Chains A and B, each alone.
Chain A
């Protein structure tokens, strides 16, 4: 064993010490021959005869050297290096070809690395928690009332935790956290920060190790505990300059002195996992007792005991579910979590995080593999064209004794060199693209912020590079080495119609390239049309020309009525002040904005009617001020709230048209009365449905209460302006600061960006697939152009003869174009057939677009045809301009 290792080492050393060893061997052989000659001379031979005999007895000197070298070194590596040097030389000579090939490969391989990294980050890599396969997401039965139906009450959480046997532990976080819900003071201007309340055992259960400090203790989640917080790593770096002594210090949050107990690791990004697009700065312990009277507020995440399967846990959950109470003090709230046809659903946390976009990612991956295939076909074609002009070179080498294997090896070395160069450049491109992607906070895809070029991405690159090299190098290699030596050497040059066979292989490659590009174009077209349909959706509000900013206010007062009065004064002041700014057309405040947080409070029903429990959808609740409906650009029938709708006056609401139509299908809802518990609510207006919880989903029911009668959870000021909204940021903040010096520098967000964020995953996929499709189209064009201009060059003489015999320029032009169109149309037909299947497969990603959308298919055919015409026209014109005299004299 050891000796064989040693031997391998010796061989390797010999490989690198070639020159001294060769010199040694030469000297030894020379000595050998001299000794032999001397002996022969002693036997009385003539010097010539002695020398001849010595050489004969020795055998071939060169062969002996070869043998010895082979015995001592690494012959395979030698040959490879030889091929490498040869390849470098030929590639350097053919610079244009090399640059084009490497560029195409770099784009193809780069795209593959980027998509692989995205797929790897989101789908393949396990979540950044310990034993992530044990983690499950415990979701309530699917219903249509936004986040209130996606969460549990504090009591339900505790009961589920105590009654279930499948788990090592169950935790959760408060889902109703708004962006910038904290205000950090004491570090210059008040700074907004986003904090999430988590159940005390959250980090222990996930298995997160802190950088410094300690996790929350159970005592810290109880009533009256001293407030503590954990800092997210980026926030610690940004806001506290990565202060290593931060643990134990107090920071001022919302006016409370909060002790920092630790710093989370960089690998833990709450937003990336649980709420894509949300940047979380701090985490605080959730006090369940304080939240007990609120409705559903927490999500549930469980860690299964070892050996317990998801199925077993699901079966157990179904048994526990009917016994859960919304609030244990109200027996009639028990059993409200299930039994309405739907049940709670367990899935792995990984599935919860990335399950929804798995299909899209797989499609994206396939698209990028398709691109790589097109790249391979294109390069095969380029190499074939090159090979055609190198036929003689190869024939010569074969004649001189190179074996077929050696030639193939040589050609594969060439393709390997090209693909490696492409892979290196591609890696550079991908690296840039991935860094860019990692910093796209506006793309609401889970885990995207943790994307990086890691070791598996590098492995993938190597794999792709080798596979590509073999794919595009093998066909031309086999082709060339099979060609007949005599034929090739005799061949008088480019004048005669060389290899019809060659040409037909190249045509087949171009046809497949066009077909693949057509599939990509149709896929991209369908996705693009869906995206445009989504952008075109009537959201029920006007996202353009409007912006929002989170407003800090203090309405604390001894009793509820004076609180409301105080709030009315504050809100009214803010709105009046902001409305007075130039170019502001409308302003209003709502506690939640569409496509953001939401909640439900149960279903008010028309007075005098009863419906069975749970048979009606729960409307999403918004608490708003006068002016909000106008500022959001919503359409209202009836009247808006006024400042005189106050605690003393009649209770009023606005409902959306879906709810109004359900309750009063034939009459007008305005003026009717709803009953919610003991409260009577007068409907003063009906607003058109807004897409409140998703852009693409069908809107459910919505209900609006005035902020002067109900308590808002938050305050987002929305203004509508005739200027670009961003221009108002400064003056609005200044106005708010004048009214309340504590107002933090909260983000001034155009409403459009809220919509953009909601559609960002779709935009991301559409963008990438369109880029791929355009790249595919470009490659197909190049392919067509290459084949046609090559065939024109090959047939120069033939065309010359035909022109000499009376063919007009138009005849020649038409002939070439006809050939081009034949290739293109064949490719388009094949591509269309394949697209029908592919389109059905991506149907679930489409929106308002049929998989067989005739417009998309027609557009693809037209684009492809036009592009092919252009690609064919250039060589066709060149053919038509051939001067028969020159062409015939050519050879």
Chain B
């Protein structure tokens, strides 16, 4: 579902703003949650982790993650530092900040609520109305 929106700047122009925000926000929350639960991690690690957790139900273009990372960085929700990976490769490591944790808590509550509402709405049965 995501890869549809990974396109050129011009295509992006055609997307409605609300949809874009929602999707951006989604990826941002996932990144924050991943970092919160795994500790400092590089871009590849984050992308792999999200893929694994979501059980391949969403096809993520891994490159998309970097736009999200820079956005989160500018908001001071994550910090970044060059370091060495487990097999001694130079990689940039991201870690969640305390501000990021606060944001994550807010976002988590929001998503839970939204998911609950959506669940109830979608569970509505056809009670004598038009299908």
Residues in A lying within 8 Å of B, measured CB to CB: 3, 6-7, 10-11, 24-25, 27-29, 31-32, 34-36, 38-39, 57-61, 63-68, 70-72, 75, 403, 406
Contacts and interface: CB of A to CB of B under 8 A. Distances in A.
Contacts of A68: 66-67, 69-70
B74 to A, nearest CB: 5
B90 to A, nearest CB: 6
Contact of A64 (B12, B67, B89): B67
Given A11-B74, A32-B44, A71 B63 contact: no
B62 A57 contact: yes
16 contacts: A6-B74, A25-B66, A28-B91, A28-B92, A29-B63, A31-B90, A35-B85, A35-B89, A35-B91, A63-B63, A68-B67, A68-B70, A71-B67, A72-B74, A403-B10, A406-B10
Interface in B68-85: 68-71, 74-76, 85
B62 A71 contact: no
B10 A7 contact: no
A67 B66 contact: yes
B9 interface: yes
A6 B76 contact: yes
A64 B61 contact: yes
B33 interface: no
Given A59-B6, A60-B63, A68-B70, A7 B75 contact: yes
Given A63-B63, A71-B67, A32 B74 contact: no
B62 A70 contact: no
A95 B58 CA distance: 56
Contacts of A58: 61-63
B116 to A, nearest CB: 29
Given A38-B87, A66-B9, A32 B62 contact: yes
B55 interface: no
A67 B44 contact: no
Nearest to A8: B74
B75 A70 contact: no
A57 B9 CA distance: 21
A34 B71 CA distance: 24
B3 interface: yes
Contact of A3 (B68, B69, B75): B75
Given A34-B89, A59-B61, A7 B66 contact: no
A63 to B, nearest CB: 6
B100 to A, nearest CB: 12
A31 B89 contact: yes
A406 B10 CA distance: 10
A29 B92 CA distance: 10
Contacts of A36: 44, 62
B66 A31 contact: no
Contacts of B48: 39
A58 B66 CA distance: 11
B12 to A, nearest CB: 8
Contacts of B7: 63
B64 interface: yes
Top 4 nearest A-B pairs (CB, nearest first) are A64-B63, A59-B61, A71-B67, A67-B67
B126 interface: no
Contacts of B64: 59, 64, 67
B17 interface: no
B43 A71 contact: no
A59 B67 contact: no
A644 B76 CA distance: 105
Given A7-B74, A31-B44, A61 B63 contact: yes
A63 B74 contact: no
Given A3-B75, A32-B62, A72-B74, 20 more contacts: A3-B76, A7-B74, A27-B90, A28-B43, A31-B42, A31-B91, A32-B42, A35-B42, A57-B62, A58-B61, A59-B62, A64-B6, A64-B61, A65-B66, A67-B64, A67-B66, A67-B67, A68-B69, A70-B12, A71-B67
B8 interface: yes
A10 B8 contact: no
Given A29-B66, A31-B44, A59-B64, A67 B6 contact: yes
A28 B46 CA distance: 13
A481 to B, nearest CB: 15
A61 B6 CA distance: 11
A72 B69 CA distance: 10
Contacts of B6: 59-60, 63-64, 67
A839 to B, nearest CB: 51
Contacts of B67: 64, 67-68, 70-71
A406 B8 CA distance: 14
A3 B71 CA distance: 12
Contact of B63 (A7, A39, A67): A67
Contacts of B66: 25, 28-29, 64-65, 67-68
Contacts of B91: 28, 31-32, 35
B71 to A, nearest CB: 5
Contacts of A60: 6, 61, 63
A405 to B, nearest CB: 8
Contacts of B8: 63, 66
Nearest to A10: B74
Contacts of B74: 6-7, 10-11, 72
A384 B44 CA distance: 52
B9 A70 contact: yes
Contacts of B44: 31-32, 35-36
A75 B89 CA distance: 32
A10 B74 CA distance: 7
Interface string B81-110: 000010101111000000000000000000
Nearest to B43: A32
A53 to B, nearest CB: 11
Contacts of A65: 66
Contacts of A59: 3, 6, 61-64
Nearest to A24: B92
Contacts of A39: 48
Contacts of A25: 66
